[in-house]
Amino acid sequence: MIRGSAVPRTGALVAIDPSAHVHASAQIYGRVTLAAGTSVWPNAVIRAEMYEVVIGERSNIQDFAMVHVGSVSGTFIGRDCSITHHVTLHGCTIGDNVLVGIGATIMDGCVIGANSIIAGGSFLKENTVIPPNSVVAGVPAVLKANRDCGDANRFNAWLYTQNAEAYARGEHRCWDAIDLDAAAARFGITRRA
């Protein structure tokens, strides 16, 4: 840490697609790639001092999330994923269309299959493998159901893509202007009250 001067919020090896939205308070260091349509929200931190972090198209890293590499591997996040508030990802692989719930922790060597949900507050210990179309919860997390959550997870990621585009225009009430029921129906899902 350099005393008496500001530390930049990104590093030289960070590759950010021009269509990505990165909040000014986010901090991104090391070999990190943000694909098209990704969004990184307030106070999120992404660090890759070795290996790399790759975040796929239209995925979102929400407020106060921490994405870090592990001791023997990088962290890879697929397309259309939502890494929600206060999540910690550490040296793991997240498949496409996955939602990781608020406050969950996924440790080194974990592999999360596509179309899955990791419930809020879950803790996945090292080298846990979750098959596609799973719902897991608990400390340590265990399989609770087999269900394809891909459509709902893609819808959630789409909402964050729309929100990021609105924030870039200075609009902070985007979801008020969207007919959420009609939008959800385009993804083949029905919203619940």
24 within 8 A of 4, measured Cβ to Cβ? no
DSSP state string for 24-46: TT-EEEEEEEE-TT-EE-TT-EE
Say which CATH architecture domain 15-146 belongs to.
3 Solenoid (2.160)
Lowest-pLDDT choice from 94-98, 129-133, 143-147, 181-185: 181-185
Helix (H, G, I), strand (E, B) or coil at 151: helix
The DSSP element (H or E) to which 146 belongs, if any, is strand 141-146
Task: Read off the tokens for 157.
Answer: 């990621």
Backbone angles phi, psi at 113, to 5 degrees: -70, 155
pLDDT score of 6: 52
Percent of the chain at pLDDT > 90 equals: 91
Q: How confident is the model at residue 4 (pLDDT cuts 50, 70, 90)?
A: very low
DSSP state of 10: B
Task: Read off the tokens for 56.
Answer: 């796929």
Is the pLDDT at 137 greater than 80, yes or no? yes
Alpha-carbon separation of residue 170 from 12, 163, 165, 167 (angstroms)? 27, 10, 9, 5
pLDDT digits 0-9 by tens, 60-81: 999 999 999 999 999 999 999 9
Q: What is the mean pLDDT of residues 17-42?
A: 96
Where are the domains positioned within the chain? 15-146, 150-186
pLDDT score of 9: 76
Query: By C-alpha distance, which of 101, 94, 92 is closest to 152?
Result: 101
